[in-house]
Amino acid sequence: MEYLILIAGLTVLALVVGGVLFLRPGRKPRPPVEPPAPPDATPGGTVTVEEEDQAAPTVERAPPAEAPPKPEIEIPPPSAGRLVRLRARLARSQNAFGRTLLNLLSRDTLDEEAWEEIEDTLIGADIGVSVARQIADDLRTRVQVLGARTPEEVRALLKEELLKQIGPDLDRSLRTERHGNRPAVLLVVGVNGTGKTTTCGKLARVLVGDGRTVLLGAADTFRAAAADQLETWGSRVGAKVVRRDEGADPASVAFEAVKTGIDTKVDTVIVDTAGRLHTKTGLMDELGKVKRVVEKQAEVDEVLLVLDATTGQNGLQQARVFAEVVNVTGIVLTKLDGTAKGGIVVQVQRELGVPVKLVGLGEGPDDLAPFEPEAFVDAILGD
């Protein structure tokens, strides 16, 4: 009985205290999310870009005390260190593969079966059969020299081998700066659904965040929705979009976009193209024409091929076809947040002889990052 009275008493007390706290006048609105976590933050503590976006669209502009009105034009975060900030995404999708390798390599004795498993794990991550064998062979030689291994040694070995295959020294810079009184011109190509339009929009944000002025060209004229999609992206960061009616000639839209870019002296023109191309001849004709027409006014500085990382061999096949048609200068690997097959980075670079320059790590507006081999491998192997 006394016990029940005690519980009742405590409940009342809790309610009173809770009520007072809740009704306290002058309760402050939720403070803005802190600036991006430093590079050494634990994955769990990383501020995801979506959170940042909802609470405070920009780090620079703290919202006013009252309900923050959404600013007309957003100032996205700069590109530097993005992959490090987004590494939690990468870790979530790629970690299993890294951990399996680390566990296998840490075994006291590595027999034939273990080496086969190591090779299979690498192949399973889409790194390619010959590269998988090469990595396994290299590791085998080095492990024999090393003898007993500490976890740190194993991690360092594996990191070095993976980095070697990814090519830490490839030039992954994007040419996005004005030159010779002309804006830089980027063509974004790839099969439908890989993330081209999204990448154009995200890239515009990256560049605006880095202080550039950007113009978008909606040369996917198959559906009006594609131009609408691009316009939504552009309007958020104050980037003008050049578009025409559905069914218009893509090359003439691209031409007009570049012309407008020259006239208005923007830094970068990004041209989105259509991917709904059924035959290689159609692809050749259309993309070839777009590029030729643009080149009447300005050099095409980058042809970015967008590939969906989840499509494996299919994606590689697409890459081959596009590389035959246009001179691809960089690869954008999208949807790496949704696959454990990060090894595709290695395979596609070898296939095309062109570096992965950007990676897509989610559907959020700032989920596009310059590709950094070391941050990538660190995310795969965990800390």
Ligand X SMILES: Nc1nc2c(ncn2[C@@H]2O[C@H](COP(=O)(O)OP(=O)(O)O)[C@@H](O)[C@H]2O)c(=O)[nH]1
* Closest listed residue to residue 207, CA positions, set 357, 75, 52: 75
Smaller CB separation from Mg ion, 13 or 225: 225
| Gap between the Cα atoms of 148 and 75, Å rounded | 52
Q: What are phi and psi of 264, to 5 degrees?
A: -95, 5
Q: Which of 36, 63, 98, 362 binds ligand X (CB under 6 A)?
A: 362
For ligand X, give the closer residue by CB, 192 or 281: 192
Residue 349 binds: one of ligand X, Mg ion, none (C-beta under 5 to 8 A by kind): none
* Binding flag, residue 338, ligand X (CB under 6 A): yes
Position closest to Mg ion via CB: 197
Query: Cβ of residue 219: shortest distance to ligand X, in angstroms?
Result: 11
Query: Is 193 known as a binding-site position?
Result: yes
Give the shortest CB-366-to-ligand X separation in angstroms. 11
232 is in an annotated binding site: no
**Structure tokens of 188?**
């974004």
Interface positions, 171-210, toward Mg ion (CB under 5 A)? 196-197
272 is known to lie in a ligand binding site:
yes
Instruction: Kindly state whether residue 361 participates in binding ligand X, applying the rule CB under 6 A.
Output: yes
Q: Stretches 124-132, 154-162, 358-366, 369-377: which one binds ligand X (CB under 6 A)?
A: 358-366
Contact residue for Mg ion among 158, 226, 304, 352 (CB under 5 A):
226
# residues near ligand X by CB under 6 A: 18
Interface mask toward ligand X for 176-215; x: CB under 6 A: --------------x-xxxxxxx-----------------
Binds 249: which of Mg ion, ligand X, none (CB < 5-8 Å by kind): none
- Least Å from the CB of residue 25 to ligand X: 43
- Residue at token pair 């001849």: 281
Q: Which residue has the tokens 């974004």?
A: 188
| Bridge-based pairing state of the strands 356-360 and 368-370 | antiparallel
| 196 marked ligand binding residue | yes
Q: Please enumerate, by residue number, every residue annotated as part of a binding site for GTP.
A: 190-197, 272-276, 334-337
Contact residues: Mg ion, CB under 5 A: 196-197, 226
Binding residues vs ligand X (CB under 6 A): 190, 192-198, 275, 334-335, 337-338, 360-363, 367
Q: Which residues define the annotated binding site?
A: 190-197, 272-276, 334-337
